[in-house]
Amino acid sequence: MKIIIINGPNLNLLGKREPEIYGDQSFDQFFENIKSKFPDIHLDHFQSNIEGEIVNKLQQVGYSYDGIILNAAAYTHTSVAISDAIAAIESPVLEVHISNIYAREEFRHKSIISANCIGMISGLGIEGYLLALSYFKNHKS
Ligand code: DQA
C-alpha cells in the first residue's frame, strides 16, 4: 500500500513555528516515528512552499497511490488550483490540519479543498496525520 503525506507552506518549520499552536515536534522526527509504526505501508513525504509544486505532486502521485494525506496549510483557504487538482486525480485525498481551523481567525474557517476530499481531520494536533494513516490502512480497497 502506497500513501503520501503532502505538506504545504511553512509546515517545514514544524517544531519551531508557533509551537503553542503547532507543537514542538519537527515533522522529520514525527515522520520517522510513524514510519516505524506502519512498517508494511510504503510511506512518502513531500513538502513545498510553492502552490504549483503541490499541484505537480498531486498529479504525479494521484493515479498510483492508495491515499494522499494533504495539509495544504494556507493554500487550503485560497487555492482553486489545488482544489481542482484533487478533483482531477483518482487517489482519495484526506485533508488534515494540525490546529482546529474553525476555532481560529475567520479567514481560516473556509476550506476550498474540502469538497473534493474524502474527509477532514482538524484540531487533533500532529496526531491527525497518524489517524489519517490508520484510516487508509483500515479502508484499503
Ligand atoms: C494549518 C491551518 C492553516 O490555516 C494554516 O495556514 C497552516 C496550518 C494547520 O495544520 O492547522 O499553515 O493547515
What confidence tens digit (pLDDT) does each residue in 125-138 have? 999 999 999 999 99
Cα 125 to averaged position of ligand 1 atoms, centre (Å): 11
Distance from residue 9's CA to the centre of ligand 1 (Å): 9
Most ligand 1 atoms within 8 A of CB, residue of 49, 101, 127, 129 to mutate: 101
Ligand 1: nearest atom to the Cα of 71: 13
Closest C-alpha to 84, from 55, 57, 105: 55
**CA 133/CA 69 separation, integer angstroms:** 8
**DSSP annotation of 25:** -
Amino acid at 47: Q
61 in Cβ contact with 85 (< 8 Å): no
**DSSP secondary-structure letter at 77?**
G
The domain defined by 2-138 folds into Rossmann fold (3.40.50)
Tell how far CA 110 is from the center of its chain: 16
Tell if the pTM clears 0.85, that is, is over it: yes
21 CA closest ligand 1 atom index: 11
The 10s digit of each residue's pLDDT in 96-108 is: 999 999 999 999 9
As annotated, the active-site residues are: 22, 97
What are the distances in angstroms from CA 62 to CA 26, 66, 120?
26, 9, 18
Q: Where in 8-81 does DSSP place strands (E)? A: 42-47, 67-71
List, for residues 72-115, the tens digit of each pLDDT value: 999 999 999 999 999 999 999 999 999 999 999 999 999 999 99
Whether the CB-CB separation of 131 and 121 falls below 8 Å is answered with yes
Ramachandran angles phi, psi of 81, nearest 5°: -65, -40
Which residues are near ligand 1 (CB < 6 Å)? 10, 71, 73-74, 76, 97-99, 101, 108
- How far apart are the CA of 99 and the centre of ligand 1, in A? 7
CA–CA distance, 61 with 52 (Å, rounded to integer): 14
